[in-house]
Amino acid sequence: MIASLLAILVIIAGIVVCIGYNTMKPKVPEIIVTRAELDAVDFNHSNLLLTIKVSLVMTAENANLKSRVSFYDTSFSLNFNGHRIAKWAIEPFGINANSSVIVNYISQPTTIHLNAVEGEDLDRSMELNMISVDLKGNSKTRWRLGQFGPIKFGVHLNCQLLLPVDSTTIFPNCSSRVALRFVILAR
């Protein structure tokens, strides 16, 4: 008796979730790296100092048709071969339903010291007109799903940017993924 009641409740809950999901079509907000370029790069072979300056354009997207989304605790870091080039955070911001916000970032020229092996690797990649830079980012998003309370998702960005040394702009379209660890913590 109790078991069949429970089973019916589970089925009803399942139907409600399915209908809710299909009518609201929730979309986890995303951060997408749309443009990137190397503004300056200079490598001095005698002291192994690499000076590098990068600019990025990212788009934060809210594809939900009904809910406004807030992004908060947003931070990024740029690294070359494990050496920090830049680290920055941005203030919380909100995006209306079905729209997006463009986030620009231009790093200061940063000088890092390489070891001899890294210097040789860099020479080879510069000959191929390409420097690989890693962009990582984290943000938390909060939004409403119909009449359900606010839900929260952490998102994580992890992009390898292959930047041409001649400053050609690239369009990586690298987008964030849901950070599962944060979803569980937020529930």
Interface residues toward ligand NAG, by CB under 6 A:
44, 46-47, 65, 98, 171-173
Cα distances from 179 to residues 4, 28, 79, 152, 164, in angstroms, run: 37, 11, 20, 11, 30
Cα distances from 10 to residues 3, 111, 163, in angstroms, run: 11, 59, 52
State the minimum distance, in angstroms, from the CB of residue 184 to ligand NAG: 31
- DSSP-derived 3-state class of residue 114: coil
| Residue nearer to ligand NAG on the CB measure, 88 or 171 | 171
Alpha-carbon gap, residue 49 to 149, rounded angstroms: 52
State the minimum distance, in angstroms, from the CB of residue 152 to ligand NAG: 24
CB atoms within 10 A of CB 153: 20
| Residue nearer to ligand NAG on the CB measure, 31 or 182 | 31
| Residue nearer to ligand NAG on the CB measure, 100 or 125 | 100
State the minimum distance, in angstroms, from the CB of residue 173 to ligand NAG: 4
CB atoms within 10 A of CB 63: 16
| Residue nearer to ligand NAG on the CB measure, 66 or 152 | 66
State the minimum distance, in angstroms, from the CB of residue 136 to ligand NAG: 19
